[in-house]
Chains A and B, each alone.
Chain A
Amino acid sequence: MNAVKVDKVAKTPQQGGLRQAMAWLHTWSGLWISWLLFAIFLTGTLAVFDEPITHWMTPEHALEEAAHANDPPLPKVTDRGHRLELALDFMTKEHPKADMWEIWPVQRPGHGLSAYWFQPAGGYGSADLDPLTGAVIEHAREATQRDTIGGHHFVDFHYELHAGRIGVWIVAITTMIMLVALVSGVITHKRIFKDFFTFRPAKGQRSWLDAHNAVAVLTLPFQFMIAYTGLAFFSDDYVPAPVAAQYGMDNAKKAFLADWNDVGKPVKTGQPLAIPALEPFALRAEQAIGQDIRAVVLDNPNDASMRVCMYGWNEETDTMERLSANTGRACYALATGEQVALRRPGESDTGGAGLTRAVMSNLHMAGFGGTPMRWLYFFCGLAGTAMMGTGAILFMVKRRQKSGGEFGAYTQRVYRIVACLNVAAIAGLSIACVGFLWANRLIPVGVEHRAGWELRAFFGVWFVMLAHACLRAEKRAWIEQLGLLAALCLLLPVLNVLSTGDNLAAQVARGDWESAGVELGGMAFGLLAAWGAWKVRQRKEKPVKKAAARESAAPTASLQINTEGQS
C-alpha cells in the first residue's frame, strides 16, 4: 500500500479505499453464497461425468451390455427407406392432426425406430416402433430394471436445485453474486502475480488463504467462463426485455422460441398434398451436409406447404474439432422438391447471435473435445469447488483466532450458525452425493416411484447432516462427517459387490472403465476425506479472544491482520 493512501487506511475498513471496500464486499457477498455455490459447483463437477454415473447406477443394464460386449458388431441399418414408410404409416393412422412429425429412422447399430409429435395439449409425444413391422413397442419396465434418474440428478440439481423455475432463478442470482465475488476478489488480492504459485501448508489461516487464492487465481479463466456461460445459457429467461420488445407481452417466449428453433417454418395453406417418399430427400441431404441422417422432421404433413428437414449426426471427430454442437440440417419444400434451407455442421441457422449462443451453452456443458476435455473440466470444477469451500472455512478460521465482533452481542451466535452451515454444506453435501449412490443400491428394485426415493434419500441425508452439524461441537462435527464421508466413499466398491456381485477387478478386466471410474473416483474422494478428518483431529483448539479485548490491546495490529488476511 503506498504512502498516499496511508491516512485513508487508518479509518475503518469500509471507508479505507477501493481495496478495503472490495475486501468487505468479497467477504460478505462470498460468505452467504458460498454454501449454495459449493453445492452448485460440486454437483456441476460431478455432472461432467453424468453418463458414467448413470451407467454405474443402472448395473443390470451395464452387466447386460458387458455380456454382449464380445458379440460381433451389428451391421448398419440399410432399410432406412422402409423404416421411414413404416413410421409415416403409423403417424398417418394415429396422429394425422399433429402439425409436426419427427422420425428417427436410426442408421446406427443397436438403435430402433422412433416417432415424435407435438401433442395438441402441448408437449412432445413419442412412440418406439418395431423397425420391421412398424408395430408400437410397449415399454413395460422389467422387474429387474431399477428406476433411477442416475447421474442426471447432478445435472438437474446444479442448475435448478430440483425446484423448477424458482431454482433456476436462485442459481442465477447466486451465479451473479459469484461474478461479483470473483471481480472483487481479484481487486482485493493485491499481490495476485507475486503470490501466483504460493501455497504454504500447515500454517493455519495462512494456508487456507493461500489455498483459496491459488485455486481461484490459477483457474480464473475457467471460473469466469463457467459462471458467465451458465448465465448466458438461460439468457432469454433472465433478460426477457428484448424478447418482450420484439414479440409483445403475450406469449412472447413461445413466439420467440418458435422463431428461434423453427427458422422458416411454413404456414399451412389448407391445400392437400400427398407425402412423397422421403428416402430420396434423405440421400440428397446426406450429400449436402456430409453427415448421416439422424432425424427427419416433417412440418405440416399432407398440406401443400409441407416441408421436410433432415438432421445429421455429430460424429466424434465433429465434437472434437468444433465448439458448436449444431449438427448439419437440410430442408426441402415437398411441393416443389426444392432445397429451402441448408446448415452445414457447426454452423447456425440464426446467424452470429445463434452461433454465439450455441457455442456458449456448449462451452458450459463441455460438449466438445471428447474425454480429455471432460477431465480438464472436472479438475477445474473441483478447483472451483475448493475455492468455495476454502473461502467459507477461511471465514471461520479467521474468526476463531479473533472475533470480528461484526454482529455485536449476537456475534458468537452468528458464528455458530456459520460454522454449522460450513460443516453441513461442505461435508454434509458430499455425504449426500455419495449417499445418493448408496441409495441407488440399497432401495429395493421393485419399489414404486423408486427414482423419487433416491432423490428423497439425497435430500434426507443432507438434512440429517445439517441437524448433526447443529447438535455437535464444530470440531466433532467435522471429524464425524468427514469420517462418514470417507467410509461411504471407500466402501462404495464393497457395496457394489454385496448388491450386484460385480467387483472392481471384474470391471477393469472387461474394460468397463465407466463403472470402475466411478468406484475409483469415489475411493480417491474417500482418501481425501479420511486425510481431512485426520487433519482436523490433530488441530489444537485455541480459545476465541473477544473483539473488545483485541481492539484495546492492539488496534493497529488488528487492522494489519484484517488487511493482510484479505490480500
Chain B
Amino acid sequence: MIPAILCALGLSYAGMASLCLAMDRHHGQVWGRDAAPNVRRALQLAGAVLLALAIWPCVAGWSATVGVVAWLGFLSAGALLVALLLPYAPRLLLCSSLLAAVAALAGLVTFMR
C-alpha cells in the first residue's frame, strides 16, 4: 500500500508542478522569464502524462473503482502542495518535483512487473 501511495502522490505532485511551470507567470517565478512555446508544450505534455500515469498505482493499490476516487484525491493533494510551495520556495519546487517524477516513474516500473 505504501509504495502505491508514494508513487501516486509523487506522480500527481510532479505532474501538477509540470503543468504549473508551463504557465508563463509561474515559469517566471523559477527561471525569471517566459517559457519558449516548445518548452511550454513539452511541460504541458509531461504534466498530462504524469497525471494520467498516477491512476496506475491507484488502481493497482486499491481497485478500479476505489482507485479512481483515490486518484482524484491525490490530484488535489499534489496541486495543493505545488500551490503552497511555489511562492515560498520555487527552486525547491523544481528540484523536488524532478526528484518525485524520477522516483515515482522508477517505482511505476516495479508496479508493472
Contacts and interface: CB of A to CB of B under 8 A. Distances in A.
Interface in B62-113: 62-63, 65-66, 69-70, 72-77, 79-80, 82-84, 86-88
A321 B62 contact: yes
B23 to A, nearest CB: 7
Interface stretch (A164-172, A195-203, A248-256, A258-266): A195-203
A369 interface: yes
A354 to B, nearest CB: 17
Interface string A343-381: 000000000000000000001000011101100110110
Contacts of A322: 63, 65-66
Given A199-B83, A200-B87, A369 B72 contact: no
Of A197, A218, A363, A380, chain B has the most CB atoms within 10 Å of the CB of A197
Contacts of A200: 87
Contacts of A197: 16, 19-20, 23, 26, 79, 82-83, 86
A219 B81 CA distance: 12
Nearest to A193: B23
A383 interface: yes
B25 interface: yes
Q: Is the interface of B mostly helix, strand, loop or mixed?
A: helix
Contact of B70 (A199, A201, A214, A373): A373
A317 to B, nearest CB: 10
Given A201-B88, A320-B63, A321-B62, A214 B83 contact: yes
A323 B66 contact: yes
Interface residues of B, number: 28
Contacts of B82: 197
Contact of A379 (B16, B66, B77): B77
A221 interface: yes
B48 interface: no
B62 A320 contact: yes
Contacts of A215: 80
Contacts of A219: 76, 80
Nearest to B65: A323
A222 B70 contact: no
Interface string A260-286: 000000000000000000000000000
Given A222-B72, A372-B1, A380-B76, A199 B86 contact: yes
A266 B87 CA distance: 66
Interface of B: 1, 5, 16, 19-20, 23, 25-26, 62-63, 65-66, 69-70, 72-77, 79-80, 82-84, 86-88
Interface of A: 194, 196-201, 214-215, 218-219, 221-222, 320-323, 363, 368-370, 372-373, 376-377, 379-380, 383
22 contacts: A194-B23, A194-B25, A197-B26, A197-B86, A200-B87, A218-B80, A219-B76, A219-B80, A221-B72, A221-B75, A320-B62, A321-B63, A321-B66, A322-B66, A368-B66, A369-B69, A369-B70, A372-B70, A373-B69, A376-B74, A377-B73, A380-B76
